[in-house]
């Protein structure tokens, strides 16, 4: 009895068409207009046109491990395996050649979209009514199970298992999908929201953090920025699926690992962005403008700018600085030139730390993959370190010049105490770079600071000296 196996969502815990679509848009966003034209020719042509131009790496795809082991055991026993899928034949053949398990491949061919009733007719014509077993996962497969001898359910979509049992004898079920909201929260990266605490800095430096009305406005701004950032993180993960799978740590991200359906990410990303925009309407319109600029630059960074050496770290530093500007606009405060200059130099240094650490930590295979995506080479490590250290110390110089400015005298009764911030910042910046060069910095430096006791101690001393200077 031949076993016919679906591809997307079954053999592979992903969707090759959607993966290829995002890969093509990342290569050139203008392909979106060509895709609309291709759709006029039907789904089969649409799939064929995309498959002609791009295909995921079959060696990196998130195959369902237990089900693949089962197929290998069936293959060793001599059972005939057939890969039958609505994906384009180029993608299907690529996977079949990679695994070496399938005697036959049936797939969409540019003129016929092999899905639902069409797939059922093809299988009945080839094997007869009830002459095959069929392994799949989606509601569209119910029509095929109606004509199969037995059904194998692999990570079935909600409600599919119960309906499949009414149509066919279910032989086995393979279900290892993560349950609950945990994978969705991981995909949204709430730990990255800590960076949005920078929105509180303008209010803190203006000594107005204790005003409840203004504090509430910044809290709303923090929520809007966090939802907006999560929206971009989801899109970034969808555009970077293959690059993430080559990375030693990022390959565990929910979409790259196949723990979440790509279609869900496509729906959640715009929903989060809409929620962020609705929250921003509660604040001054200038804040909404800054939020829109942040989103556009972050999206441009994900699609293109992060592949340009040095441009990527300048954009990252600018995005951090935009958070400070947004915090000021949320409460209608004037952005301080000194604060913006300090933040630009400081965050340029920290962005260099991030890129330096990523490049240094990679093994030989991963290094080649990231070099292709980022444009950096191992020879650039020393240059990254030098420019990053210099930029970090320049931020301390800006702080020192700020202490001597007339603005400080109007805000602090004992401005000389603020000088103590300079050695603290020199220590922290020097330590961050020392850890990075030792290979002990494996994370974003701001996220590292949240779990580092010495960073907390430095932050506490800074706040203490600022309070004493008041």
**Tens-digit pLDDT profile for residues 189-211:** 998 898 999 999 999 888 888 89
Backbone CA torsion sign across 379, 380, 383, 388: negative
**pLDDT single digits (tens) 147-174:** 999 999 999 988 899 999 998 899 999 9
Determine which of 55-64, 254-263, 272-281, 407-416 has the lowest per-residue pLDDT on average.
Answer: 407-416
What structural domains does the chain harbor? 3-174 (3.40.50.1000), 186-469 (no CATH)
Asked if pLDDT for residue 104 goes beyond 90, the answer is yes
Instruction: Please give the average per-residue pLDDT across 228-233, as a whole number.
Output: 94
Nearest to 217 by CA among 275, 281, 283: 283
Beta carbons within 8 Å of 441's beta carbon, 6+ residues apart: 353, 357, 432, 435, 448
User: What integer pLDDT is reported at residue 368 of this predicted model?
Assistant: 46
Question: Is residue 5 classed as helix, strand or coil in its secondary structure?
Answer: strand
How high is the pLDDT of residue 50? 95
Is residue 365 scored above 50 in pLDDT? no
* Predicted local distance difference test score (pLDDT) of residue 362: 64
**Per-residue pLDDT at 274 exceeds 70:** yes
Pair 239, 229: CB distance under 8 Å: no
DSSP 152: E
State how beta strands 150-154 and 81-88 pair: unpaired
Does the pLDDT at position 372 exceed 80? no
Integer CA distances (angstroms), 340 to 306, 323, 334, 395, in order: 23, 10, 11, 10
> What SS3 class is residue 34?
helix
Q: Give residue-wise pLDDT tens across range 46-79.
A: 999 999 999 889 999 999 999 999 999 999 999 9
Determine the pLDDT at residue 374: 64
Q: Which 8-state DSSP code applies to residue 375? A: -
Q: Which two tokens stand for residue 371?
A: 């070099």
Point out which residues pair with 151 in neighbouring strands.
134, 170
| Alpha-carbon span 403 to 406, nearest angstrom | 8
Question: Which helix (H) or strand (E) segment is 84 a member of?
Answer: strand 81-88
∠ CA 175-180-185, nearest 5°, is 120
Q: What is the pLDDT of residues 287-335, one digit of tens each?
A: 999 999 999 999 888 888 888 888 989 999 999 999 999 999 999 888 7
Find the helix packing angle between 311-330 and 212-239, rounded to 10°: 150
pLDDT tier, 370 (very low <50, low <70, confident <90, very high otherwise): very low
For residue 258, which of 400, 368, 390, 155 has the smallest C-alpha distance?
A: 155
Q: Which residue carries 């005003």 as its tokens? A: 211
The token duo for 178 is 């993560």
Q: Give residues with Cβ within 8 angstroms of 225, minimum separation 6.
A: 196, 199, 276, 291, 294, 323, 326
Helix (H, G, I), strand (E, B) or coil at 87: strand
Mean confidence (pLDDT) of the chain: 89
Q: Express each pLDDT in 11-30 by its tens digit.
A: 999 999 999 999 999 888 88
- Token duo for residue 187: 């995909």
Name the more confident of 352 and 369.
Answer: 352
Residues 373-427 have pLDDT tens digits of: 467 777 888 888 899 999 999 999 998 888 887 777 777 788 888 889 999 999 9
């Amino acid at each position: 009895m031949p076993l016919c196996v679906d591809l997307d969502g079954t053999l592979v815990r992903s969707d090759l068409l959607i993966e290829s679509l995002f890969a093509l848009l990342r290569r050139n966003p203008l392909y979106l207009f060509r895709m609309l034209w291709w759709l006029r020719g039907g789904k089969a042509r649409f799939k064929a046109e995309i498959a002609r131009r791009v295909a995921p790496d079959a060696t990196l795809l998130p195959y369902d491990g237990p089900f693949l082991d089962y197929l290998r055991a069936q293959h060793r026993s001599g059972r005939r395996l057939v890969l039958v899928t609505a994906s384009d034949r180029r993608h299907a053949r690529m996977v079949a050649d990679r695994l070496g398990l399938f005697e036959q491949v049936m797939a969409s061919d540019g003129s016929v979209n092999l899905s639902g009733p069409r797939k059922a007719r093809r299988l009945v014509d080839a094997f007869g009514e009830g002459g095959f077993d069929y392994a799949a996962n989606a509601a569209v497969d119910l029509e095929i199970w109606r004509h199969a001898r037995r059904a194998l359910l692999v990570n079935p979509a909600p409600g599919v298992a119960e309906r499949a049992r009414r149509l066919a004898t279910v032989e086995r079920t393979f279900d290892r999908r993560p349950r609950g909201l945990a994978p969705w929260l991981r995909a949204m990266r709430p730990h990255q929201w800590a960076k949005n605490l920078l929105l509180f800095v303008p209010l803190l430096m203006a000594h107005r953090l204790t005003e409840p009305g203004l504090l509430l406005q910044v809290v709303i701004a923090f929520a809007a920025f966090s939802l907006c950032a999560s929206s971009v993180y989801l899109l970034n993960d969808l555009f970077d699926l293959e690059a993430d799978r080559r990375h030693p740590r990022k390959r565990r991200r929910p979409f790259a690992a196949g723990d979440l359906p790509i279609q869900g990410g496509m729906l959640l990303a715009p929903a989060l962005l809409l929620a962020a925009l609705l929250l921003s309407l509660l604040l001054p319109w200038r804040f909404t403008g800054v939020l829109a600029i942040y989103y556009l630059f972050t999206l441009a960074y994900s699609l293109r700018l992060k592949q340009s050496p040095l441009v990527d770290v300048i954009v990252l530093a600018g995005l951090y600085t935009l958070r400070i500007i947004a915090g000021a606009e949320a409460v209608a405060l004037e952005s301080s030139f000194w604060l913006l200059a300090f933040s630009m130099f400081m965050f340029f240094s920290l962005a260099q730390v991030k890129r330096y650490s990523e490049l240094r930590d990679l093994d030989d295979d991963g290094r080649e993959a990231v070099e292709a995506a980022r444009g950096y080479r191992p020879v650039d490590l020393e240059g990254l370190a030098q420019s990053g250290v210099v930029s970090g110390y320049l931020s301390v110089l800006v702080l020192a010049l700020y202490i001597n400015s007339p603005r400080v005298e109007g805000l602090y009764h004992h401005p000389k105490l603020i000088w103590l911030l300079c050695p603290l910042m020199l220590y922290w910046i020097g330590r961050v770079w020392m850890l990075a060069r030792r290979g002990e910095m494996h994370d974003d430096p701001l996220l590292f600071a949240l779990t580092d006791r010495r960073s907390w101690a430095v932050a506490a001393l800074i706040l203490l000296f600022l309070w004493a200077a008041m």
